[in-house]
Every structure is written in structure tokens, then in C-alpha cells.
Structure 1
């Protein structure tokens, strides 16, 4: 029954996705002249340029391209790190405290997640940077990235927007995912897709800058940080949401046109809760929500996406459940809609957003389609 339902949705989603407008897609560049002349609308997306340095040399780096983001990873204390940007004229800015991105990773890294630190910093076209790392930091690696100004590629505009679970989203092609980053030098896929029934939905923040002027470029930077620097093989989340409320497809899930799932409705495993990834869907809001709330638009999109996913998987958003990792049998008692800190020792999704989760669950339940709401009862359950 699930397979038939999913396949029917697949056909509908394809039809809706082709018909959907592209006004919600952030600007990716000019329409190609030849394509415009032929009547086929395309957008240009810049390729990512990066320079990665390890060890002591990672603490002072210059690049031959404008640095738009700096990714820093290390093992050890999370506090006590800082960065100072070097501008194109050689001047040095003030030291800024590094705020760690919420700890996550592939399940194979579960034992190391407590000590692994990852940070992404907007650099605004700097020429270089200097780092201060806490005492005892090991395995230091810093990566200068340019996801804005590099050579561009063309993507068909019809492939940049889709609809799924009642919401419109920007596809991987729409935000400029370079699919080659998923593959190793020998051509094999770094993290081949595996699929399991969805059991829980987990909310994150990226712990990045608020007021982001170019969220698609930021997502491309997270993609490179996760796929290449962290060696996960892809971006860690299933979906991301920017401050304007735009929803972005995350982890690659195949060519069937259904984001985060295969054609049968099973969910692809991502890398957002190390040790608890399989069967656990992750949604990240771009920004930091430790002392401030998400924008109304982002909160509304998060509610709608969670409601659509709850209905799609017949999950009760207000239930308490026992998550069972289908790979190794590890269990965890959580809310159906949880925050990252419910799984691991992390500040994610920020104190303000985490405090809002009870109200969010109620809002999601109120936004369920009537048929789905009728099936939902607030009981603890273990997955079949």
C-alpha cells in the first residue's frame, strides 16, 4: 500500500514540480543568452573553489581567490578558538570568537563526535585569515572557500524547484550542488545511499550567521565542508530553511524526484545525529538561535514541512517514541519532533529554538491534513 501511494505521489510531484514557478529561488546568476534565445530558461551557478590546509600551517592561510567562507575543524575543546580576517588591502580585522557548528557526523564517527568540532565562518571576500585554537586542539584543518565568484555552470530552471509533502522546495540543482563532490578520486561514491522507514524528525540550527544575504552560497559552503572536509560524502541534513522561509533539498536521495526519500517512501540516511542517523530525518534552520528566534517566515516553513512529513510518514508530531536504530539496534527515548541536543551533547538547535519545540509540536499537529490528524494519537511507540 505504501509503495502504491508513494508512486502516485511521485507522478503528481513531477507534474507539479515542472509547473511550479521559480520566483522563490534565490538569484543564481544571469540567464544564459543562448538558452534565452532558444526559449529554454537556465540559471548559472558558480562552482566552489577551495584551499584546505592541515596542521600548524592551517592557522595562517592566504588564497589566490576571494575567500567567502572559512571552514575550521579540530578535535578537542570547543571553546577558546578565534579567527582574524586579512583583507585584500592587507589590513587585519579584529579577532572574532568561533562558534562551533552543532556536532554531527556519519554513524561511523559516533565515537569521535563528542570531541570533533566544526565551524563555518563567512569571510566576505577576504584575502586570508589567522586562527587561534584552544590548548590541546589536534587534527586542525582549515579550508578557504569561494562559493560565489568561481567559474559557473548552467542548470535548467525547470529543475530548480519542486514540491513535496505539500511544500515547495529548492532542489539540489537549484542551490548549485556539485554532484561530483559525492565521489572519491577513483569514481566510487563516498557515502552510497541507504534507506529506512522514517521514525523521528530532528530540528537543528547551523550555528552560522544571521541576516545571511546569500543562503544558497552558504549551503554550498556547508556542502563542501560536510562532503569533503568532514569526509561524509554529502551535506549532513535532509532539508535546510533560510530566513526568508525558502526550503532547500539536502542529502542526495536518488533520481526519482522525491527529496530525502526513495520511490517507496523510505528515507535516505544522512549525517546530522552521529550514531542515530538511520530513520531520523534532520531539518536545519540557517542561522544561530541561541538568543534570538527564527524569523516568522522560517518558523512557518518549518511548521509546514514538519506537518507534511508527519502526514507522509503517518507520524504523530506530539508523541513520545522509542527510536530504534535499524542498523545496530541502539535505542533512544525522544519526542517524535526533537532537537539535536536530545540526541547528543550539543547546544543545537540553540536555546531559543529548543525552548520553542513544545509550541512547534502543537503547531505542527494543528497543521496536519485532517485525515492524517485523525490517525494520530499521543502515545509512546516503538517502530515496527
Structure 2
């Protein structure tokens, strides 16, 4: 399912938005080497606002049961290509509007993003299925399996300031979500394309940053040049939150 980033708020309703090692211990006496799991690098789960806050009965769309993967080993960061000057109290309304466009005119079963983050750093649950579970999203064509989609509310093209509260929240969310599978946010992971509508043919296996931008997997400028430029720093912050520094 495609979720590319389109320019302008008018496009929102037609939204096509924009892998553990082991460590070995050897007894001093020279006994047999024993393999044991590497020490976990987990981060604290940040506060996440449940979807019930933004999804009301009048907007709710009938949908099939959620789909799941075995784990999440990568995060794709997006922007919603919508206005930046919103009051953060309006974020639930904006998310509801995005949801309505995707489940209405696009006839999707749910909002594509797993999570959304506003400019004040508030994290919202997006796609249904359980915040703690590896829900299969619909955010990066060809690479929705074993990944989570995090969308920054706004447009972050070249020269546009990206709030630190927003990038800190993205880092915290990625650190926690990737930590569940023991994935270092600074690592590269291997994913396999599920179809030929991405940058890679169906069945092609390639590596991505564990914390990637949408454009790494799909032909788009999303999440915008300004936010893309901050991804290296977000990876470092996420790694630090996992206790890797």
C-alpha cells in the first residue's frame, strides 16, 4: 500500500504520503564455550496518546483485524506535508483529518502511519493493533513489513525549522520500538521489498539505516530535506537512550 508525501494541505485527502548477536563467555578453567544472548539495549517507552483521543465514533471506519510481523527492525520517518503553524491542541483534529482522507477517498482500512508526532513532541498512536506490538503499517511502499512508520506533523522541506521537541520525541519512540528487537538505531538492517512499486523490485533484498527516511525506500522527497538532514543526530540520540553510549 502506497503512502507517499504529496505537496500541500489540499493533497491530504488524496494522501499517498509522503536485524542479535551472541556474546561468548569462557570459564577460566577452559571449559566449553557457552553462547548466551547479547545484553539487551532497551529504552523506556515514551508516553503515547492512544488513538481513542483523536478517533471519534463519527469518523471511525469499519476495518479488518490488524496484521502483524514477528518484530520491528527498522523505522521509517515521514512528514505529513501539511501546515506547520498549528496549535498543538489541534493535533488530534489534524490526525483525524488525515485518517478520514485515507479511509475515505483512498478507501484504505486505517491510517497508514503507526505513530504521529506533533511539533510539541506529543506522540500519538496511529494505526490500530496495539502500541507494543509489531503492527504491519501502510507507510512505505514495499517495506511495511518489520518496520514502523513515524510521521512528523508538518512540512519540513529545505530551510524549514524542525522543532527539537519533535526530533527528541521521534528519537525516544524509535529507541524504544527498535529496542524491543535489540536493534541499534545507528545500524543498517536488511529488508526485502514486497512489491515493485518501491525503489526496489519485488523480492529484492537490500540494507537500510535502521532509522531511515521515507525516501530511502520510495521515490519521494519525504520526510523533507530539513528533517532528513537531522536523521543522523536522531539516530545518535536514540542510541544513547538505549544505553549504547
Corresponding position: 1:270 with 2:142: no
Q: Distance in 2 between matches of 1:241 and 1:165?
A: 17
The alignment partner of 2:171 has SS state of helix
Q: Distance in 2 between matches of 1:347 and 1:211?
A: 21
**How much has 1:282 moved relative to structure 2?**
0.3
CA contact (8 A) 2:77 2:212 kept: yes
Name the CA shift for 1:177/1:317 in 2 (closer, same or farther; >3 Å): farther
Q: TM-score, normalised by structure 2?
A: 0.75
- RMSD of equivalent CA atoms: 2.9
The alignment partner of 2:104 has SS state of helix
State which structure, 1 or 2, has the greater radius of gyration over its C-alpha atoms.
1
Q: Distance in 1 between matches of 2:228 and 2:115?
A: 18
Task: Tell me the residue number matched to 1:283.
Answer: 150
The alignment partner of 1:341 has SS state of helix
The alignment partner of 1:268 has SS state of coil
Please, which of 179, 183, 187 is the counterpart of residue 315 of structure 1?
Answer: 183
CA contact (8 A) 2:186 2:211 kept: yes
Query: Which portions of structure 1, spanning 4 or more consecutive aligned residues, are displaced by more than 3 angstroms?
Result: 116-122, 177-182, 325-330
CA contact (8 A) 1:175 1:216 kept: yes
Higher RCO, Cα 8 Å, sep 6+: 2
Structure 1 or 2: larger strand share?
1
Name the CA shift for 1:363/1:272 in 2 (closer, same or farther; >3 Å): same
Deviation sequence 1:283-304 (CA, Å, 0-9, x none): 0010011121321211111111
Corresponding position: 1:352 with 2:241: no
The alignment partner of 1:248 has SS state of strand
CA contact (8 A) 2:72 2:178 kept: no
Please, which of 320, 325, 335 is the counterpart of residue 209 of structure 2?
Answer: 335
The alignment partner of 1:308 has SS state of helix
**How much has 1:245 moved relative to structure 2?**
0.8
Mark the runs of 5 or more structure 1 residues left unpaired by the alignment. Answer: 1-105, 123-140, 144-163, 184-188, 262-266, 375-384
Please, which of 222, 231, 239 is the counterpart of residue 98 of structure 2?
Answer: 222
CA contact (8 A) 1:320 1:336 kept: yes
**How much has 1:260 moved relative to structure 2?**
5.8
Task: Tell me the residue number matched to 2:164.
Answer: 296
Mark the runs of 5 or more structure 2 residues left unpaired by the alignment. Answer: 16-42, 196-201
Task: Tell me the residue number matched to 1:195.
Answer: 68
Deviation sequence 1:135-158 (CA, Å, 0-9, x none): xxxxxx879xxxxxxxxxxxxxxx
Task: Tell me the residue number matched to 1:57.
Answer: none
**How much has 1:242 moved relative to structure 2?**
0.5
Task: Tell me the residue number matched to 1:249.
Answer: 125
The alignment partner of 2:178 has SS state of helix
Within 5 Å, which residues of 2 pair with 1:88-237? 106=1, 120-121=9-10, 165-178=44-57, 181-183=60-62, 189=63, 191-196=64-69, 197-213=71-87, 214-237=90-113
The alignment partner of 2:173 has SS state of helix
Q: How many pairs does the alignment contain? A: 208
Q: TM-score, normalised by structure 1?
A: 0.49
Q: Distance in 2 between matches of 1:349 and 1:177?
A: 28
Name the CA shift for 1:230/1:345 in 2 (closer, same or farther; >3 Å): same
**How much has 1:269 moved relative to structure 2?**
1.1
**How much has 1:165 moved relative to structure 2?**
4.8
